[in-house]
Amino acid sequence: MTGLELSKAYYEAFGSSMIHNQFPEYEKYAAVGLVGEGSECLGFDDGLSEDHDFGPGFCIWLPEEIYRAMGSQMQQAYERLPKTFEGKTRMETLEGQGRVGVFNISDFYKKYIGCTSSPRTNVQWMMLPETSLATVTSGKVFTDPLGEFSAIRNDLLKFYPKDIFLKKLVARMAVMSQSGQYNYERCMKRGEFAAAYLACGEFVKAAVSAVYLLNRKYMPFYKWMFRGMDHLFYLKEVKGLLEQLVLLTDSAENTSRKVELIEAVCIGIRRELNRQEIVQGTDNFLQNHCYEVMKAIADEQIRQLPIIYDCK
């Protein structure tokens, strides 16, 4: 049983009746599910995941006025539910406290994206890191009779507005060409192996993010970036190339092979940019396409930002 399945079964066994019997007048306001931090919210949990911040539990999200009126009482009722279910006992670290239980909808979203609802402007969207959006749109909502929690969630799941998507993509292209296509080999030729290692890391992070962006999916926390690529539709081959790149040591004898892998990744990205009609040219040096993409951004405030800028 996965963490998400455990959460839903625990809610159905105990949570649903708790809400219905103890808070019948508030049942219509309560959204329930499991969303947020933790591998179980991404569906990536395994036996190793169970040693911390794992076990039976679920989230209850209430509108602000209902939370003020009844949140404390509902949290107390939640804490009286059985601690063990299906042989699993929830194990929480200090850092992992507060991932399940009763929440104010506005506060829940503010914790992860800094605002109480979906962003209203391009600047607000620009300031939201992919990983934060991946976290707050992870997991599953089991029930939401009012629909307030899901309305915000569904807005976020629509992905970045076009101008923000393009700007973030440009930033990834710029970093990929700067760190991988330009600086990596130069560092190796100078014998600056530590710098080359860092350049390769910057390239890999930017390339993985570009793949997620081109799939219109938010990239998760770095620990799960590669795992999540298995669930993407486009550019599946890039994961294998990047894994080869990461696993090769930065030594003189590996330089040419790593340069080849970097170029192969960039070629794959460029071809996908062509296929999606984001760029027209066939130059494999990604930097040379950045200004073409920038010109397609309608919002002048976003278009005037430096090509490499992004809050990440």
Q: 52: pLDDT confidence band, cut at 50, 70 and 90?
A: low
- Whether the pLDDT of residue 93 is over 80: the answer is no
Looking at the domain assignment, is residue 37 inside a domain? Answer: yes
Return the percentage of the chain with pLDDT > 90, whole number.
Answer: 90
For 13-35, the pLDDT digits (tens) are: 999 999 999 999 999 999 999 99
Q: Is 194 exposed, middle or buried (0-12, 13-18, 19+ CB in 10 A)?
A: exposed
Q: Domain of 64?
A: 3-157
Looking at the domain assignment, is residue 310 inside a domain? Answer: no
For 113-169, the pLDDT digits (tens) are: 999 999 999 999 999 999 999 999 999 999 999 999 999 999 999 999 999 999 999
Q: For residue 157, give the nearest of 99, 197, 113 by alpha carbon.
A: 113
Question: Which pLDDT does position 49 carry in this prediction?
Answer: 62
CATH number for the domain harbouring residue 290: 1.20.120
Global pTM reads 0.94
Least confident piece of the model among 48-57, 121-130, 202-211: 48-57
Tokens of 42: 């991404």
Same structural domain for residues 103 and 200? Answer: no
Same structural domain for residues 214 and 228? Answer: yes
Looking at the domain assignment, is residue 42 inside a domain? Answer: yes
Looking at the domain assignment, is residue 36 inside a domain? Answer: yes
For 243-270, the pLDDT digits (tens) are: 999 999 999 999 999 999 999 999 999 9
Q: Over range 38-44, report the average pLDDT.
A: 90
Start-to-end C-alpha separation, the chain: 34
Q: How many structural domains is the chain composed of?
A: 2
**Of 87, 122, 157, the domain-final residue:** 157
Looking at the domain assignment, is residue 308 inside a domain? Answer: no
Same structural domain for residues 26 and 85? Answer: yes
Same structural domain for residues 188 and 168? Answer: yes
Q: 98: pLDDT confidence band, cut at 50, 70 and 90?
A: confident
Question: Which pLDDT does position 306 carry in this prediction?
Answer: 96
Same structural domain for residues 88 and 227? Answer: no
Looking at the domain assignment, is residue 130 inside a domain? Answer: yes
**Of 139, 157, 175, the domain-final residue:** 157
Same structural domain for residues 19 and 75? Answer: yes
